[in-house]
Structure 1
Amino acid sequence: MAVCHLVQVFAPPAQQQHQAPPFPFDSVAHHNRLGLFLFALTRSCEDFLEPPLEELLRQLKAVDDLVNGWLCEQLTTTLAGLNSPDDLFNFFDKLRGVLTSPDGGSVEDEFLDPNSQLGVFLRCCILAFNSMTFEGVCHLLANLVAYCNSAEASYDLAEDEDFNGEIEMGDPMDADIGVRSGVFDRYTQGYATESHMGESSSSLVHAPISLHNFDEADIFKAEDNPTCLRSRWQLEAFLNQQADVLEKDPSSVPLNSFNNTMAQLQTLAPELHRVQFLQYLNALCHDDYVASLDHLHRYFDYSAGMQGLFSRSSSPHQDNIVGKYESALLCLGNLHCYFGHPKKALEAFTEAVRVSQMNNDDSCLAYILGAISNLLSKIGISSTVGLIGSRYSLGNNIGLGTPLSIQQQLLVLLKRSLKRADMLKLTSLLSFDHISLAKFDLKHVQRPLVSFGPNGSTKLRTCPADVCKNLRLSSHVLSDFGADGLSISSDNGSFSTSWLKNLSDASSSWCSSSTKPRKFITNDFDNFHFHAQPSPIPTSVLQLAGSAYLMRATAWEHYGSAPMVRMNTLVYATCFADAASSSELSLAYVKLIEQLAVFKGYSAAFCALKLAEEKFPSSTNSQIHLLKMQLLHERALHRGHLRIAQQIGDEFGVLSSSVSGVDIELKTEASLRRARTLLAAKQFSQAAAVANSLFTTCYKYNMQVENASVLLLLAEIHRKSDNAVLGLTYALASQSFCKSFNLDLLEASATLTLAELWLALGSNHAKRALSLVYQSLPMILGHGGLELRARSQIVLAKCHLTDPEFSVSEDPCAVLDPLNQAAEDLQVLEYHEMAAEVYYLKAMTYNHLGKEYEREEAAARFKEHVTALENPRDEEDSLVY
């Protein structure tokens, strides 16, 4: 009723419209401001209960400041004047004039459109009041008194010192709020009714089910509801908003309190089955398998096919029932995928494909194919054929009897899903498929699907152009999201909710500007609009667009361009942080901190890590926690604190799941850290054994990009164990992998290792080694980090010193300049082993030059680093940052 009164002020009956804007608005902007406020009130989804009168008056005051709070005073006066059922009847009878055209009127815009958002709201209220019994009207009066009394003690409209200089507007209906308290008390004593915060008159009325085909026909709940709920549409939007919170930052949502809130809502609205789905998501975010499975079954059991996920037809009831079972299977598959049950997930997805094909549900089928593609790309599956393991095969062969590998099946599924999404105009799924294809093209070489024919011209290497093309096409979701049937209802209430939340900030701005002369305020509506402008683009669309930038950063990491990594990551963290989930945003922070560690050293990285830990609460499996362990392990190795490094490496193994095929990347990281720790401890045979086992695992799960790093590690192990001949084969194999996958920076590192191996074979190969160093220097000096640059400078100096044709006395700068630069970089990294090698080479060079003072100084520094390696002190400091 309070909103109905404000709508009547905003759009007075047509016969009273003698001026534009209508009284009491002093400008069109002021008039439009109230209209925006009313629209936001009927679309807001901040809570599932209607706001109390106190909150409504506070928000209205921000809109009403230009007329000294006339609207607030008029609202309280009108509500206080409703003292009898006849007053209520006259109140709703006047509302009809807002929606009815005057006799003989020909201008359509002289009255409120009955089919508009505010028009439908008024019609629902009028119809609900007309459907009430006399007892219901009396109950409405009692609740109206309680509604007004809830704001009586805390709201004082007479005190307003910010607008003493404004023009005062008189109103014949002005009355002292205190005088009306007796009226309130009389009705409060006359009706023993229980009041709640957030309660309003709409809790007393009930609208019929069918009203102009309006989905929010049940906008008001039954009379027996103890608390006033918002409209059905706003309740759905509230649940969607809570789902967004669970996705963005699940750690900020306590499990029990959230369940209590959902239980309260379910008690008030038992027909709202999506509450069960929210409880399923909450249990999922808190890793409660039993509860999440239970709530998922409850949701699909109780909803009885009335809330399908992928309906497209104009007859929603039938399509929703048809789309129910496959939607349930899709969610069940995603549940098993989340908890690391790939076989069960594939069984659910396979059955969902069968049912979708049987029911011709193309939309759901497209999403299932995308989910299977996501499963295959994230979960390691070692078998090479017969992946699905069902008679309803998704593409184990291509009609020629040729079995497909896991990668070929993944590619077929991605392209099939992409084709269906394009045909059905599923823009969000289309963007997701493009990102998935870019990820596939980044890590897999596309081989021909047939095993015969002319394949001689086939280039077995990845194509960066295809990756960039797919990422560019995925960004089109920002401009094309309106064409997606699932994104048409993009106005999910978040815009109106943000608009109302920003009213307080806008109000403080107007207060500060109200002391200025009115002639200096060119457009006060622009000022208001600036302070209350949330993003109109749906969160899901922003997340997809942001994922494209995050994927670009990952691609440039593979290709070796550090500036492009930083640029795309900063774009994501700056432009998409508000819509990003906590996992993706933490991943962006991880990439930036990794760049700091590589290029600025551990001090800068750990300072940034502290800020990231404050922003993202740490947990055992979070990205931030894993980054901290990686940095601590690297620093412990550089300092020579091998016991601490081994302890941290063991923690990596504990974090990964014991299930085969799950957490493959984490298990790979743990094995890689263990091998490097054994290498630093000079246990070469054990390090080689771990690396060989890791290579087998990567090959088993087709992790070819990781294989390049493992091969390079094996070459390093054999180089340090004085087995350079065997190390050459691993270095060449790693270099071949890098060329196939366009890993330019890693290829430069492999080339540098190859040069070191040639140097280890004797001085006769110094020229070849120097040529390889010069070949890799442009990439290393342009994009390499401190360690790689220092290493390249050391190898360059060793090439000159090993070459029998090179004379140190003739060109000492060719040796000393690279060594000095390497010493500066290694000092930042605290890398004792490599720094000792630098000062050893410097001492040898100064000895050839006859500079005894410089030689002794370099020898002293060499001794310091060797002592630090052989007798490490304060090892526990490596765990402090």
Structure 2
Amino acid sequence: MASPDVHPHHVSLCVLLRAYLEPRTLTAYINGEAYQQLGEFLLQEIKATDTVVHPTLDQLLQKLQTWLNDDEALQNVEAIVVDQLGMLNCPDDLLSFFGELGDMLNSNTSIAHPDRVFADHNSAMGVFIRRCCQAFASLAFEATCLLYTDIRAYLEEAQLVAEGGLPSTSRGTLREGGPPSTSRGTLRGRPALDAFLNDKLAQTERQAGRTPSAASDPALDVLEELAPDLAKTFLVKHAGALQQDDYLAAIDSLHKYFDYSAGGPGAEGAGGSTEAERGRFQSALLSLGSTHAHFGHVQEALLALNETVRIAQQHNDDASLAHALAALCRILASTSAAAAVPLAEPTKLHASAAHHVQLLRLLRRCLKRAQELQLPHLVAFARLALAQFGVQHHVEANARQLLGEEPGTSQGSRSAALEVEEAVRDTAHLHQAAVMAAAVPLPPATAGAPNAPPLAGSVGRGSAADLFSTTASVFGPSSAGSQPASATAVEQLAGQGHLLRSVAWQLCGSRQLADASALTHLACYGESASAEDRCLAYAQLATSAAAKHGYKVAEAVLKIADREFLHSQSKPLMAARLRIAQQRALNRRDVQQATHLASQLAALAPPVDDTEQELRLEAEEAAVQTLLAAGRLQEAASAACQVFATCVDAGMQVAAVRLLLLLARIHQAAAAPVSALPYVLNCLLHASHLQLDMLAAEAAAVLADVWLALGRCHAGHAVQQLQSLLPLVLGHGELSLQAKVQLALAESLLAQASLEDIKADPSRVLEPLQAAATAFEEIEDWASAAEAQHLLALVLDLTGQTLQRNATAAAFHRLTMLAQHAS
């Protein structure tokens, strides 16, 4: 059989290249524009990796037709290809052809042939010519004769198609003992197929949601039929099924991948067959567990991980144990205490607290083992997971001994944002060290040579990057052959660290730093990041834009995400879109639309298992806000209490604090400020303790409203409270919070000041009212904007500013009509 490196399609391209490199001869048949188009076509063809089969001559000429706009030039080029292929009457002609083709790379003959353009050795055309000449020179005589036979059949088939003797849908040759063939040409060689599958896999991971259905790729179906031993085909199908949430297809492709990978190309010999089979089986179990976890099948995932741990313990496979431990940590972090079975439940602790203590212990153990085994991707994962744990949860003080923590090593009052900053910094340093070590791998250690320097045993607050201060200590013996993949994983985790930092800064109240972190992820890690991470970054930017700049800016951000991810099914992006639309409906007092959007948001979370707790709690909180806007205060209070209990049981402290503030607003709406006071004080206390600055500012604003609702005698307390909030709120707060604080401040000043004080200095009241009206109108809360305009008109009338009063009254009428039409 002919070598897969030399095919009649390559010979056709070489004919076109030879004609292209003789411009004086070729320009007699085509013009300058067609000559440039031919060069662009050749560059695309010699670099093409998007097909799995070699095109027939008829298909090649059809593709050429799409590039050349001049029909006469097209006919001349087609004639050159057909005539040159027809002049190959024997294998000796092939030898002469490739000899002349190789001479075009020799620049020393440029004086003897001034009418030629010689290709540079390192150019795309030059490299292609060198590869073809080298591949032909390595052919045996029998293979050369077979290549000549393939060229004759290749040419005859195109002539039959041109004469109408062969249907255009029946292209391709099938010869007994020949290469695999399809109706679209002959299957490419193994290196080209590997490159195609690698590109396809990377494209699948980076461009999720571009296909509206889980229909299989025709090219992959061709490979599955003609080259079933190419196991990576099923890996690509598995990745596509995961993107489309097709459970049956994902499991089937995963089973086929590991079935066909046994004994495939690159498999070890008989001496290492047992070890290779065991490694393949452990990889299959880890992949199966990860697949089950992706679909929320917690118990099945734990069973697969338990089997992996059992096999690894039997054979003292520390690296496999470390990966299984990391997978277990990922599952426990995404589930509740009811969904996961604790391995060793600590005593004297609540079930949820025991779940969190167990997760924290496993994460620290995973970090320590990854450092000892020199697995940088697991070190980065555990480091970021510990920082994320600090953002989401707070371990009780009486659990320190169970965590193996001495009293002096407690985190104390360190903020979660600071922990995240340290983790992101360490991961960035580790990424740089891993890339350098993977680019220049060290030679294997000789017998008797000392081992790598021991890693530090501390897994507390020490920098993970310090543990890999030299390239010799980055990768351990268990990472042999997987350094590039590990470095790529560390790069992806480094990008995820910026997303985590964005969340941490948003909780602290600095949306500018949060936006900067999300933009850093998109700008610096966009090529290596997964589609889900990029969707999460866009979701964070859209949410921040809606809060700081209004819904039109948020829509512009979402349109950018839609252009990049057509038909996207990303839950973070869909949740952000629904949450923004639901908040917009609440501002417009459109309760029916808000209820519908809250139901859609609740439908995103899995209805059965206890995974994706944050999305579920966000949907339940949105439903409570809708009940509050509808005036169903009793139902809103009951639902808020249930969600608060769920947050406490799940250990979601930040969500629990938000629910306390929501309960205070419900009691405030029910004209019960005394009942709202304990909730808002409790919220303020916990927000200050957890260093949630912006949430504490919102609680302080509600507390000022409560002071004002208790009577005019408390207006001074409210003014003092609100004035202390203005620098933080105006610098970092949302538009809605700015508007509420300004309106509350104006109302407090009106309640505190006398008529003479207002007339003497009306700007003290007019400025916050005007700012509140503007901010409310930007977020489309026209009812509240109308209320601010109403107060503004009253103050202007009181101070005798008639023209400004009339303009404000007209604005009040306009906003009132908008509010009526919107609701």
TM-score bin (small chain)? 0.7 to 0.9
User: Which residue in 1 is equivalent to 2:469?
Assistant: none
Whole-angstrom distance in 2 between the partners of 1:865 and 1:226: 65
Whole-angstrom distance in 2 between the partners of 1:586 and 1:544: 15
Q: Residues 675 and 195 of structure 1: is their aligned pair in 2 closer, same or farther, counting only changes over 3 Å?
A: closer
User: Which residue in 2 is equivalent to 1:270?
Assistant: 228
| Maintained 8 Å contact 1:43/1:234 | no
**Is 1:129 aligned with 2:135?**
no
Listed as ranges, the gaps of 5+ residues in structure 1 are 10-22, 26-36, 63-70, 99-110, 155-180, 207-220, 489-535, 876-881
Structure 1 residue 346 displacement after superposition: 1.9
Whole-angstrom distance in 2 between the partners of 1:630 and 1:487: 47
**Is 1:469 aligned with 2:418?**
no
> Within 5 A, what are the aligned runs for 1:540-619?
543-618=492-567
User: Which residue in 1 is equivalent to 2:89?
Assistant: 83
> Within 5 A, what are the aligned runs for 1:186-585?
228-253=186-211, 258-304=216-262, 317-382=273-338, 387-389=340-342, 393=343, 405-445=354-394, 449-450=400-401, 454=407, 459=412, 462-476=415-429, 479-482=432-435, 543-585=492-534
Whole-angstrom distance in 1 between the partners of 2:423 and 2:92: 67
Amino acid in structure 1 at the alignment position of 2:747 = K
| Maintained 8 Å contact 1:749/1:776 | no
What is the number of equivalent residue pairs in this alignment?
725
| Maintained 8 Å contact 1:306/1:321 | no
Whole-angstrom distance in 1 between the partners of 2:95 and 2:436: 45
Whole-angstrom distance in 2 between the partners of 1:362 and 1:121: 46
User: Which residue in 1 is equivalent to 2:771?
Assistant: 821
Amino acid in structure 1 at the alignment position of 2:758 = V
SS in 2 for 1:809: helix
| Maintained 8 Å contact 1:633/1:648 | yes
User: Which residue in 2 is equivalent to 1:794?
Assistant: 743
| Maintained 8 Å contact 2:171/2:183 | no
| Maintained 8 Å contact 2:53/2:187 | yes
Structure 1 residue 646 displacement after superposition: 2.0
Structure 1 residue 478 displacement after superposition: 5.2
Q: Residues 463 and 587 of structure 1: is their aligned pair in 2 closer, same or farther, counting only changes over 3 Å?
A: closer
Whole-angstrom distance in 1 between the partners of 2:167 and 2:613: 61
* TM-score (norm. length: structure 2): 0.74
> Within 5 A, what are the aligned runs for 1:50-61?
50=54
Whole-angstrom distance in 1 between the partners of 2:168 and 2:276: 39
User: Which residue in 1 is equivalent to 2:51?
Assistant: 47
User: Which residue in 2 is equivalent to 1:141?
Assistant: 148
Whole-angstrom distance in 2 between the partners of 1:197 and 1:538: 44
Amino acid in structure 2 at the alignment position of 1:439 = Q
SS in 2 for 1:819: helix
SS in 2 for 1:287: coil
| Maintained 8 Å contact 2:102/2:130 | no
Whole-angstrom distance in 2 between the partners of 1:118 and 1:541: 38
Structure 1 residue 139 displacement after superposition: 4.4
Structure 1 residue 753 displacement after superposition: 1.5
Whole-angstrom distance in 1 between the partners of 2:727 and 2:268: 56
User: Which residue in 1 is equivalent to 2:453?
Assistant: none
Structure 1 residue 255 displacement after superposition: 5.4
Amino acid in structure 2 at the alignment position of 1:838 = A
SS in 2 for 1:808: helix
Whole-angstrom distance in 1 between the partners of 2:817 and 2:215: 56
| Maintained 8 Å contact 2:214/2:244 | no
Q: Residues 636 and 226 of structure 1: is their aligned pair in 2 closer, same or farther, counting only changes over 3 Å?
A: closer
Q: Residues 232 and 841 of structure 1: is their aligned pair in 2 closer, same or farther, counting only changes over 3 Å?
A: same
Whole-angstrom distance in 2 between the partners of 1:39 and 1:409: 58
| Maintained 8 Å contact 2:230/2:260 | no
Whole-angstrom distance in 1 between the partners of 2:341 and 2:439: 29
| Maintained 8 Å contact 1:598/1:785 | yes
Whole-angstrom distance in 1 between the partners of 2:323 and 2:269: 17
User: Which residue in 2 is equivalent to 1:211?
Assistant: none
**Is 1:711 aligned with 2:660?**
yes
Per-residue CA deviation, residues 337-385 of structure 1 (Å, 9 max, x unaligned), is 12111222122222222222333334333333332222222333447xx
Whole-angstrom distance in 2 between the partners of 1:435 and 1:294: 32
Q: Residues 4 and 609 of structure 1: is their aligned pair in 2 closer, same or farther, counting only changes over 3 Å?
A: closer
Whole-angstrom distance in 2 between the partners of 1:444 and 1:781: 29
Structure 1 residue 854 displacement after superposition: 5.9
Amino acid in structure 1 at the alignment position of 2:609 = S
User: Which residue in 1 is equivalent to 2:710?
Assistant: 761
| Maintained 8 Å contact 1:687/1:717 | yes
SS in 2 for 1:258: coil
SS in 1 for 2:394: coil
Structure 1 residue 74 displacement after superposition: 11
Amino acid in structure 1 at the alignment position of 2:259 = D
Whole-angstrom distance in 2 between the partners of 1:312 and 1:723: 76
| Maintained 8 Å contact 2:170/2:183 | no
Per-residue CA deviation, residues 751-771 of structure 1 (Å, 9 max, x unaligned), is 211222222222333333333
Per-residue CA deviation, residues 559-606 of structure 1 (Å, 9 max, x unaligned), is 221222222333333444444443333333223322332233223333
User: Which residue in 2 is equivalent to 1:646?
Assistant: 595
Whole-angstrom distance in 2 between the partners of 1:317 and 1:126: 36
Amino acid in structure 2 at the alignment position of 1:271 = D
User: Which residue in 2 is equivalent to 1:107?
Assistant: none
Structure 1 residue 781 displacement after superposition: 0.6
| Maintained 8 Å contact 1:205/1:223 | no
> Within 5 A, what are the aligned runs for 1:778-857?
778-803=727-752, 807-846=757-796, 849=799
| Maintained 8 Å contact 1:426/1:486 | no
Whole-angstrom distance in 1 between the partners of 2:217 and 2:705: 61
| Maintained 8 Å contact 1:39/1:117 | no
SS in 2 for 1:228: strand
Q: Residues 353 and 126 of structure 1: is their aligned pair in 2 closer, same or farther, counting only changes over 3 Å?
A: farther
Amino acid in structure 1 at the alignment position of 2:193 = L
Whole-angstrom distance in 1 between the partners of 2:79 and 2:488: 38
Q: Residues 736 and 236 of structure 1: is their aligned pair in 2 closer, same or farther, counting only changes over 3 Å?
A: farther
Per-residue CA deviation, residues 641-678 of structure 1 (Å, 9 max, x unaligned), is 22222222223233332113133233222221221122
* TM-score (norm. length: structure 1): 0.69
Amino acid in structure 2 at the alignment position of 1:84 = C
Whole-angstrom distance in 2 between the partners of 1:810 and 1:456: 59
> Within 5 A, what are the aligned runs for 1:638-717?
638-717=587-666
| Maintained 8 Å contact 1:443/1:462 | no
**Is 1:873 aligned with 2:821?**
yes
Moved more, 436-445 or 345-354: 436-445
Percent identity for Structure 1 against Structure 2: 31
Whole-angstrom distance in 2 between the partners of 1:92 and 1:857: 86
User: Which residue in 1 is equivalent to 2:692?
Assistant: 743
Q: Which of 675, 681, 692 pairs up with 1:732? A: 681
SS in 2 for 1:657: coil
Structure 1 residue 265 displacement after superposition: 0.7
SS in 1 for 2:821: coil
Whole-angstrom distance in 2 between the partners of 1:86 and 1:140: 12
Q: Residues 636 and 193 of structure 1: is their aligned pair in 2 closer, same or farther, counting only changes over 3 Å?
A: closer
